Amino acid sequence: MAARVGVLFNGSLVDLVRARPDAADFLSVIPERFWQDLGRDRGERFVPLPDEVALLDELASHHRLVAHGVGLSIASGSTFDIDHVKQLAKWHRRYRFGWISEHLSAVRVQTEVTADHHAGLALPLPWDHDLLEMLCERVGRVQDMLGTRLLLENGVVHTPVPDCDMSEEDFVNALVRRTGCGLLLDLHNLHVNAVNLGIGPDLYIDRLDLDAVGEMHVAGGNRLFGAYLDSHAGACPAEVWRLLRRTAPRCRNLAGVTFEFHESYFPGLGEAGVLKELDRMRAALARPEAPSCRSPNSSALLPT
């Protein structure tokens, strides 16, 4: 079955999804937006937000929902928040998400002198055996608690870590092989890494176990002080569409492609702009790039 197209839900989309429930095949929702976390030291830690939960109930009655978590920070060495996983599992039992994804990242930090806090951006990860062992154990526990496979999303590389034991691609493939987890392949994140650091997206993709890819993200970005940011700033750049056309047909288990934009950019995008991106996603999936007759690992020879 062809992959479905969806959009990462935010408040600016309420009118559109009510008026055009058929516009997207699914909505990706961020579970953490529907509760307030009062902190680990509180007995009743997770408090549902009534208005947001009512909206989620409404969305669930008309749309297929998938969950895209942002708060787990599964790669943080200093903290692993089992209660957060339990909360996610509770909501999965309630809404039966089509699938659940999180980020392969560390954004939370706890030290001897500071409580668990958000670092403000994803921290650089060392692709080494210690991290792999830690993540295999954690991903297994998370999947057991959720009762479903977890998709993990590749992140933006802000600062490469030197002298890693392996490449990011080899690390991810090993994690997939050992845990049975899936991948959420964010094509814009790859584009960001290419623009800022010259990391070629084609070779990265060619080295991945593409059978593990269950979802893809497409998005746009913008520049700030010379850096290109994964800011979800509106329409997707041409390079993201090229990557989608080239990669999607090779992912046999791809269930959905999701357009991400931040609601602060909705005024520039508008409903027409969101619908246009969804149409472009469908067109890219319907008209993939012709397969190359060259070796799949010879991405440098593929058309750009």
C-beta of 286: minimal distance to Fe ion in Å? 23
Nearer to Fe ion, 46 or 187 (CB): 187
C-beta of 78: minimal distance to Fe ion in Å? 24
C-beta of 150: minimal distance to Fe ion in Å? 15
Nearer to Fe ion, 46 or 240 (CB): 240
Nearer to Fe ion, 179 or 231 (CB): 231
C-beta of 258: minimal distance to Fe ion in Å? 8
Cβ–Cβ < 8 Å for 212, 177: no
C-beta of 213: minimal distance to Fe ion in Å? 13
Which of positions 212-241 make contact with Fe ion (CB under 5 A)? 217
Cβ–Cβ < 8 Å for 226, 190: no
C-beta of 268: minimal distance to Fe ion in Å? 20
Q: Which two tokens stand for residue 44?
A: 């009743």
If one asks whether residue 68 binds Fe ion (CB under 5 A), the answer comes out as: no
Nearer to Fe ion, 47 or 121 (CB): 121
Report, in angstroms and rounded to the nearest whole number, the Rg of the chain calculated over CA atoms. Answer: 19
- Select from 44-52, 94-102, 182-190, 272-280 the region that touches Fe ion (CB under 5 A): 182-190
Nearer to Fe ion, 101 or 299 (CB): 101
- Select from 57-65, 90-98, 115-123, 179-187 the region that touches Fe ion (CB under 5 A): 179-187
Q: Which two tokens stand for residue 67?
A: 């969950």
C-beta of 1: minimal distance to Fe ion in Å? 23
- Select from 36-44, 71-79, 123-131, 210-218 the region that touches Fe ion (CB under 5 A): 210-218
Among 25, 32, 168, 186, binds Fe ion (CB under 5 A): 186
- 117-118 and 213-219 as β-strands: parallel, antiparallel, unpaired? unpaired
How far is residue 219's CA from residue 188's CA, in Å, rounded to a whole number? 6
**Per-residue contact string for residues 132-171; x = within reach of Fe ion by CB under 5 A:** ----------------------------------------
How far is residue 24's CA from residue 7's CA, in Å, rounded to a whole number? 7
State phi, psi for 295 to the nearest 5 degrees: -55, 140
Cα–Cα nearest to 232, from 285, 277, 284: 277
Which single residue brings its beta carbon nearest to Fe ion?
A: 217
- Select from 116-124, 128-136, 180-188, 274-282 the region that touches Fe ion (CB under 5 A): 180-188
C-beta of 232: minimal distance to Fe ion in Å? 8
- Select from 84-92, 93-101, 181-189, 291-299 the region that touches Fe ion (CB under 5 A): 181-189
Answer positive or negative: Cα dihedral of 176, 180, 181, 182: positive
Q: Using CB under 5 A, list all residues that contact Fe ion.
A: 186, 217
